[in-house]
Amino acid sequence: MSDVFMEQGLSDEEIFSQLDAMTADDIPNDGSAFAFVYDAGKEAKEVARRAFAKCMTGNGLDPTAYPSARRLENDVVAAALSHLRAPEGAVGTATAGGTESVVLSVKAARDYARKTRPEVTAPEMLVPETAHACFHKGAHYLGVKLVPVAVDPNTMRPSVEDMRAKINANTILLVASAPSYAHGVIDPIEEVGALALEHDLLFHVDACIGGWVLPFQRELGIEQPEFDFTVPGVTSISVDLHKYAFAPKGISVLAHRKPELRDAQYFTCAHWTGYSVINTTTLGSKSLASLAAAWAVLRHLGRAGYREIFGRMYEAKKQLVEGVEAIDGLHVVGNPAMGLIAVVADKDLFTLADRMTAKGWHLQPTYKFGSSPTHIHFGIDASNTHRVGALLADLREAAVDLPDPIEAPEPVVQMIEMMAQGAGGDLDAGMMMRELGIVDGKLPAEQAMIHRLLDAASPKAREALLVKFFGELFS
C-alpha cells in the first residue's frame, strides 16, 4: 500500500505540515533567485490566491455552462490586446502558458495554410536559433519543419538576410522574439514584418516574456525597438501572464490580428458518441483558477502598479549590466532590452557558478548553442531588484582567481555521445547519477562537473541524457 493513499484520511494539520516539508527545499522568493521567480509581493500573491481558490472548480471546457469562463477570458484577452495595441477586429485566447501559446500559433499557421494554400504539403517555418525551445516542440508535435535562422554572434539578433534566403514555396510562418529568453535581445521585428508582407507570410512575435514589460518601458520613455501589432506584418503575438504579469503558473495569451487565424487554432470534433467538442486550446477540461488569478492581479496592481515595478526592474537591469561589465573577466552578451542578462567569463564559468551557489544565489548556468556562448543567465524580477548590489558584490568576489576554463573529461563525453546514438549498450543512468553526486533527485552543491559534461556534449546527447535523468527522477 502506498504511504500517500492510506485507508484513513489525515487531519488538515498533518497534511499541511507534510506539505511544508515537501516544499522546504524549493527555490525561495526572497530575492536570492535570479531565475524562475516572478513575484510582485505579498499583497498581489494574496489576491491571486483568493481568486485562484474561488475559481478552482470552474471548467473552461464549456463557457456556456460556466459563463465566468467567458467573462474572465474576454476581460484578460481584451487587456492583452490593448496592451499590444492590436487593431480593431483582433482576437485572442487564454492558454495555459507560453509553450501552449507558441505551439498553438504554429497550429494556427499550419491549419490556415492547409486551408488557403493547399499546394503546400511539407510546411516549414523560419525560426531564429535564439527562439524558445517551444517552437521546436510545436514543429515536432505538428509535423512542421523548423528551419533555423542564423544569429549574429555579437548582437544575438537573427540575420534577416539569412531568413530571406531561406524562404521557399513551403514556408508558412516567420518567427521572432521580443525579447529572447537567453539574452533579452529584441529581434528586428520591423524588418521581419516587412519580409512577411513582401512574401505574404504569417509572422509570429514571441513576446511571452517581454510582452507585459515592454509597453510600460515605452511609457517610461525607454528607447527600444517596436514589437507589437503596430508593426506592419505581425500577425500573432504570445504574452505570458504567469511571468511578468505576476499571475500564478498556468496563464498566457495568444493574440491574432485576424479572426480567421484563431479559427485555424481551434479544434472541433463531432465524430464520437459523447458531447460535441470545441477546444480553443490543447486541453479539454481546464481549471479557471489561473485565469481568474491573472484577472485579479491585473485589477489589483493596475497600470500604475506595473509601471512602478518595471521602472524599478529597468534600473536594476542597468545596475547589473554596468556592474558586470566593471568586473575583470566578465562580460554581458549583446544588448539586453530588459532584465534578462547572459554573462560570460574569460575564466572557468562553472567554477564561478558554483561559488555563487555557495554564497546562496540561485542562477541559471546555460550551455553553448550555435552562436550563443556558455553563459550564466540572470533574470531581474520584482522580488530581487533590491538584492542586485549584494549580488554584484558577491560576483566581484567570486570572479577573483578563477581557474582557466576546465575541459570536461573526454572519455566521459564520448560515452555520453555513444549513448545518445543508442550505441554502447544501455547506460546505467542510476550509476552515472551517483557518480556525479546526484542523490535522491538533488544535485550536489558543486555542479561544475555536471555542467561541464553537458556543455561539452552535443545538443542531441544532452537531450538523450536528460531523458535518462528524468526517468530516474520519476521512478
Q: Is 338 in the site for ligand PLP (CB under 6 A)?
A: no
Task: Give the HSE-up count for residue 439: Cα atoms under 13 Å, Cβ half-sphere.
Answer: 4
99, 217, 290, 384: which one binds ligand PLP (CB under 6 A): 99
Closest to ligand PLP by CB, 99 vs 385, is: 99
Paired with 267 in beta bridges are 279
* Residue range at the interface with ligand PLP (CB under 6 A); choices 56-64, 92-100, 285-293, 331-339: 92-100
Taken as a whole, the chain contains a residue count of 475
Locus of grid cell 547506460: 427
- Least Å distance, CB 179 to ligand PLP, is 7
* Residue range at the interface with ligand PLP (CB under 6 A); choices 97-105, 212-220, 402-410, 458-466: 97-105
Closest to ligand PLP by CB, 96 vs 330, is: 96
Q: Is 84 in the site for ligand PLP (CB under 6 A)?
A: no
Closest to ligand PLP by CB, 104 vs 438, is: 104
Q: What is the CA radius of gyration of the chain?
A: 23
- Least Å distance, CB 207 to ligand PLP, is 8
Contact call for residues 364 and 377 (beta carbons, < 8 A): yes
* Residue range at the interface with ligand PLP (CB under 6 A); choices 201-209, 260-268, 279-287, 389-397: 201-209
- Give the contact letters, 240-269, x = binds to ligand PLP (CB under 6 A), - = no: x-----------------------------
Please tell me the distance from the alpha carbon of residue 277 to that of residue 280, in angstroms, as a whole number.
Answer: 10
Closest CA relative to residue 320, chosen from 378, 360, 376 = 378
Q: Is 228 in the site for ligand PLP (CB under 6 A)?
A: no
Determine the distance from the C-alpha atom of residue 414 to the mean position of all C-alpha atoms in its chain, rounded to a whole number: 31
Contact call for residues 181 and 209 (beta carbons, < 8 A): yes
Q: Is 132 in the site for ligand PLP (CB under 6 A)?
A: yes
Locus of grid cell 504569417: 202
- Least Å distance, CB 379 to ligand PLP, is 9
Q: Is 110 in the site for ligand PLP (CB under 6 A)?
A: no
DSSP string for residues in 230-260: TSTT--EEEEESSSTT-PPSS-EEEEESSHH
Beta strands in 257-355 (DSSP E): 267-269, 277-279, 330-332, 340-345
- Least Å distance, CB 99 to ligand PLP, is 3
Closest to ligand PLP by CB, 196 vs 208, is: 208
User: Strands 145-149 and 124-128, how do they pair?
Assistant: parallel
# residues near ligand PLP by CB under 6 A? 12
- Least Å distance, CB 444 to ligand PLP, is 26
- Least Å distance, CB 177 to ligand PLP, is 5
- Give the contact letters, 158-177, x = binds to ligand PLP (CB under 6 A), - = no: -------------------x
Residue with the closest Cβ to ligand PLP?
Answer: 98
98, 123, 188, 193: which one binds ligand PLP (CB under 6 A): 98
Please tell me the distance from the alpha carbon of residue 343 to that of residue 331, in angstroms, as a whole number.
Answer: 6
Q: Is 134 in the site for ligand PLP (CB under 6 A)?
A: yes
181, 216, 246, 295: which one binds ligand PLP (CB under 6 A): 181
- Least Å distance, CB 8 to ligand PLP, is 39
Contact call for residues 334 and 85 (beta carbons, < 8 A): no
Closest CA relative to residue 108, chosen from 125, 87, 128 = 125
- Please report, for residues 93, 296, 322, 376, the alpha-carbon distance to residue 61 in angstroms, rounded to integers and kept in the order given: 13, 21, 49, 41
Closest CA relative to residue 283, chosen from 6, 59, 26 = 59
- Least Å distance, CB 166 to ligand PLP, is 21
* Residue range at the interface with ligand PLP (CB under 6 A); choices 95-103, 192-200, 285-293, 389-397: 95-103
Closest CA relative to residue 240, chosen from 178, 316, 193, 317 = 178
Three-state secondary-structure class, residue 26:
coil
| DSSP symbol at 377 | E
Which residues in this chain contact ligand PLP in the complex, by CB under 6 A? 97-99, 102, 132, 134, 177, 181, 206, 208-209, 240
